[in-house]
Structure 1
């Protein structure tokens, strides 16, 4: 029925244009409010930089503008008095700390106030006139984080008018290279520090277990070339507003009561300080504390044992902290990881640390277990009570240096950490994998949780990490997510994983099983067609990942997994063809199933890159899901093959090769 003219609904003119949508920013900002309208950067902008702004930060803004298609960047000292004066057709971008006059003016025109938290920032976009974009940092770190948010906004064709006020929930956020096995290369570390900047992380701890000068030979000076490389790395960290923390692990041989060993630690730290490192860490994990390394400690602390170890460690660490404070009163507090680094049960060792350890020293804690399946607020509160201070969480995810992770990359979303943990932790550090680039999806989640745990969305952040790795390419993003699903398993030190394997693929394959069991012929045909599409996605993903859109380091470090995935994908393609043949009564089903089994055996025989991880072994691809389906498929549809006179199953030439 036609609506009469008198009943027609009037539509506001602005509603006929493009709607203004809320941008997806990761980590999630503390506050983001859309105002009115949009603005496009265009090909020419005016950049107004407040005095004293870090040149590296300014350079990053210029790079972002160039990537967004801006051809001309004109510099100015202040905003024009009126919008119709001096470049009225260009967006003005104001960049600097909030205590500068030009930034205060820009915030006032934007009807916004400066974020006052440490590492905080205010970012505004105003659509009136040609538009004003303001990036105002509470401090230099906050301004740098504002630039990372602007980087995400500038990818859009137009910027919505908005006000973002943002700051981190946790003071310490980042990674600790604390795994066993092959350490990262300096190139990998450089890439990792560049990556940490993009997710607003602020801490990287250098603590590879297999660096002999940090553990077994900790008293010895680094070779000149190695020290120089570490200095270059520290410079990269500073450029990325990441605190480079150097960790030494003296526990296997230290004599706690010997002043010479305190001096050896100070010499080690002095050498690192001379190349630009200002933050330090003493690791006392994975050592035996029921015996002393020297007779002197027995005299000083009595018979060996947990309580005596706590007293001895506190004495050593307090001396180191005092030395650091004397040499650099403004230095960050020493960080330590205790020998009892997991659970929060009351013990003589923890009681001794709680009583004797300098309250300034930061204590790391791995949660309820070495690899905890979940961490709750009560868990963290118990750790606070046990150690006498809020702890810094060392989260052993996605590290893959223990036996249960053999043949695996751990690439599930970062989850099962309770929102609100920021109230009971000083921060969170992820222990990544031996493979740097494949660690980024999980680390992205850790950093996002540390920035804003109450608004953290694990699944959406996981998708964001794939898009970032894929440089925004939709096809590459989809391929990565397909790959991630085959590496979803997250083991613990026990027999039960804390994240299941391939949940998306399992749901799809379970649906196929159900339709084959209960569906009619047409439904079975549709299910098999869907299975073929999914098999194609698995088989094709490795070539897409290797095509160049994604960091080549990712493909190189994941090489055997991609090789195995491709074969498993082809096995699933043949399995789908076999089911299709069986469903139509074709005699080719047996051949397809046999070829699928052959490819599955080849895939299962592919092993990890020798020496790349602590434990070498067969590659796992959606194990328990994909292999089970390929194995079961021939039993899902009974199809009587045509038998030749000699009893052989005839071979056809149709189907996938």
Structure 2
């Protein structure tokens, strides 16, 4: 079906005077109105024009010289997936438009500036910023993807990927740029590290949410921690080199982190040279950004007598001075070798809270101001972070900190048996004024981690325009490949893994809020409703229980990313059993409501399924702490146990 576009001009030509008409073969079917697209992360600004653009089967791609091959390849892949069969390359814009032309480039190219001018758009001038302008013109359409720089152009292509999934691309102008310069993840959890395949998938995912940083810091890599002085075997170094190449393709900065703290001698020049040699080896495979982790170590004792001679008795202040000396030397060496390299990043031994201390004062006074300091917030696992909290950290460390957010990591005791799949919330809009960025510490399970990390990346990109619930929905839809039934099944599953624990007894997000609200409604209808209300509530429960029980099979059917189903296997198995228990519970309530003695049998079988579900364990070795799988615990199990007492039979 061919779509033609007519440009009507009134007075001077401009984006505001362009009206697109979708002309069907018989000219009798009107075009549907353009609608504002939902883009994640939310753009800084997006404005609809009039009309919409159908890509059709043939598109002309106009790209000036110098565009990186990854972005061009991404654009071509997006068009192919959108059903475009013929992509013709061109170097110039035509005098009169026939069909759809897509201009791809950075704002310093004359052809890109011309294309933006044609619809009155102005290029975004911020680092990593981009502008997308689409308009119907003549008998065709012009879509311009303009990056402020190469990274911005790549982000523009990622936004275009979302636009191209729609049936029609509306005439619009998007101007966008990140609010925080550093956005991404740190593979910094304890327990089984990700596989190289997991990491490659994660880097591909980070690109889709406009993240720009991945820190390689698995606690169980011996060459980065226990044996940090030893060189990587050639084969391992080669594998890391492949990973660095994947990161580069995705415009993600691969940061290599080393953890020498347990054994390093801060004042020993040979240890400094060992670190420099390790960095040099990583530089040979393309790494240009480095990180020294000094968390989870003792500073009440020195690792060598030379440190005692150099810095005096051990203690917090002396540790801060010693660490600063080593880090400053590494930073100076990095600048000497590569003046364009990003600054060194470090995580301090006092990495949480912002209380004044001798250690923080020593870092503030002695540490090179260019070195980036990570901070986990008000606690190791903070329930909330405010602008005031971040401002206190800025004061304590003498610089804006890079937030290490320990969500959704599940490597500590309170998270045993859980996937952490709640939305990313309780981080105050406006934190971008006091943070250098945010890195999420994900779970041992890579694919399920994307649910929360999507929120982290979206918040770091545009904290003031961030909507947690809508971003959560977008994460589910992305994992489901756009399938609405699978999206609904994922959201049902996410709700069973909504609890977000801390190191204490009180979680900062409650378990299964949607399921609890529904089950509480059933309880209330049984306790306080009339006959009709009670019947309806139980009938609704029967339907909801069926959907709950069916969700795992839908998630495992192949529509949802298969890595997710694999990582979540025991949780999906347990959910299916709990779903069966809930179905039998609903049947028992229905029977009891009708005075049937069959209710006892339904409830007894529900109890058996519940016991079987509660006995399922996590995958051995998959997480630091293994144990029973938790599914909507404190909500579903309580309801199944209480149901036989709700109606006398």
Please tell me whether residue 91 in structure 1 is matched to residue 100 in structure 2.
Answer: yes
Aligned pairs (5 A) from 1:236-251: 236-251=246-261
Please tell me whether residue 132 in structure 1 is matched to residue 146 in structure 2.
Answer: no
SS of residue in 2 equivalent to 1:394: strand
Partner of 1:102: 111
Partner of 2:24: none
Partner of 1:4: none
Aligned pairs (5 A) from 1:461-472: 461-472=471-482
Query: What is the alpha-carbon distance in structure 2 between the residues aligned to residue 13 and residue 346 of structure 1?
Result: 61
- Cα distance change of structure 1 residues 49 and 13 upon mapping to structure 2, 3 Å threshold: closer
Partner of 2:577: 567
Tell me which of 357, 377, 380 is aligned to 1:367.
Answer: 377
Partner of 1:440: 450
Query: What is the alpha-carbon distance in structure 2 between the residues aligned to residue 13 and residue 22 of structure 1?
Result: 16
Query: What is the alpha-carbon distance in structure 1 between the residues aligned to residue 287 and residue 331 of structure 2?
Result: 15
TM-score by length of 1: 0.94
Tell me which of 122, 135, 138 is aligned to 2:131.
Answer: 122
Tell me which of 588, 593, 601 is aligned to 1:583.
Answer: 593
1:74 Cα deviation from its structure 2 partner: 1.1
Tell me which of 361, 364, 367 is aligned to 1:357.
Answer: 367
Tell me which of 78, 94, 106 is aligned to 2:92.
Answer: 78
1:82 Cα deviation from its structure 2 partner: 2.7
Partner of 2:121: 112
Tell me which of 333, 342, 355 is aligned to 1:345.
Answer: 355
Structure 1, unaligned stretches of length 5 or more? 1-11, 640-657
Please tell me whether residue 638 in structure 1 is matched to residue 628 in structure 2.
Answer: no
Structure 1's consecutive aligned runs of 4 or more residues displaced over 6 angstroms after TM superposition are 12-16
Tell me which of 48, 54, 66 is aligned to 1:40.
Answer: 54
Please tell me whether residue 157 in structure 1 is matched to residue 167 in structure 2.
Answer: yes
SS of residue in 1 equivalent to 2:48: strand
1:19 Cα deviation from its structure 2 partner: 2.0
Query: What is the alpha-carbon distance in structure 2 between the residues aligned to residue 214 and residue 583 of structure 1?
Result: 63
Query: What is the alpha-carbon distance in structure 2 between the residues aligned to residue 307 and residue 379 of structure 1?
Result: 23
**How large is the Cα RMSD of the aligned pairs?**
1.1
Structure 1, residues 63-102: CA drift from partner, whole Å, max 9, x if none?
Answer: 111111111111111111233xxxx1x1000001111111
1:386 Cα deviation from its structure 2 partner: 0.0
SS of residue in 2 equivalent to 1:131: strand
Partner of 2:419: 409
Structure 1, residues 33-74: CA drift from partner, whole Å, max 9, x if none?
Answer: 111111110111111011100111111111111111111111
Partner of 2:72: 58
1:475 Cα deviation from its structure 2 partner: 0.8
Query: What is the alpha-carbon distance in structure 2 between the residues aligned to residue 159 and residue 194 of structure 1?
Result: 24
Tell me which of 590, 593, 604 is aligned to 2:603.
Answer: 593
The answer on whether the counterparts of 2:429 and 2:464 sit within 8 Å (CA) in structure 1 is: yes
Query: What is the alpha-carbon distance in structure 1 between the residues aligned to residue 421 and residue 253 of structure 2?
Result: 26
The answer on whether the counterparts of 2:71 and 2:154 sit within 8 Å (CA) in structure 1 is: yes
TM-score by length of 2: 0.95
Structure 1, residues 258-300: CA drift from partner, whole Å, max 9, x if none?
Answer: 0000000001100000011110000000000100000000000
Partner of 1:511: 521
For these two proteins, the number of residue pairs brought into alignment is 623
1:521 Cα deviation from its structure 2 partner: 1.6
Aligned pairs (5 A) from 1:150-189: 150-189=160-199
Tell me which of 203, 206, 215 is aligned to 1:205.
Answer: 215
SS of residue in 2 equivalent to 1:445: helix
Partner of 2:537: 527
